[in-house]
Copies of this chain bind each other. A is one copy, B any other.
Amino acid sequence: MEKMIYEMHAGICTIFSNPKRLEIIDLLRDGEKSVNELSSLMDIPQANLSQHLSLMRQRGILETRREGVNIYYGIANPKVIKAFEIMREVLLEQLSKHEKMFKKIKSA
């Protein structure tokens, strides 16, 4: 039973394990964008972008809205942005810790 929860939890978090998908989340932070808008901001083939978006939608991280010929993707739950930010903070803290260590070593 608990095992299933961990599996679903991991399934959702898979979203964070790819740089392109993190970029998508970052680009959608301040509101929805169409595939086209994302595509023009992202240096990635359109098909590949669609694949990532589709995965993120399946996992319930993104939601879509059609407007004519465009499809707008938005972040389904703001908590996802929060988790994204927290993990980025973890990364930045790691980097600055390493930087301090290098300086210490250099000045020794």
Per-residue contact bits, chain A 13-47, to B (CB 8 Å; 1 contact, 0 not): 11011111111001000000000000000000000
- Stoichiometry, as copies per complex, reads 2
Q: A60-B94, A83-B86, A86-B79 are in contact. Are A18 and B10 (CB under 8 A)?
A: yes
Contacts of A79 in B (CB 8 A): 86-87, 89-90, 93
The interface size of chain A toward B, counting residues with CB under 8 Å, comes to 36
Question: Main SS of the interface on chain A?
Answer: helix
Binding site for B on A (CB under 8 A): 2-3, 5-10, 12-14, 16-23, 26, 60-61, 77, 79-80, 82-83, 86-91, 93-95
- A7's partner among B5, B14, B19 (CB-CB below 8 A) is B19
Contacts of A5 in B (CB 8 A): 88, 91
- A80's partner among B7, B80, B90 (CB-CB below 8 A) is B90
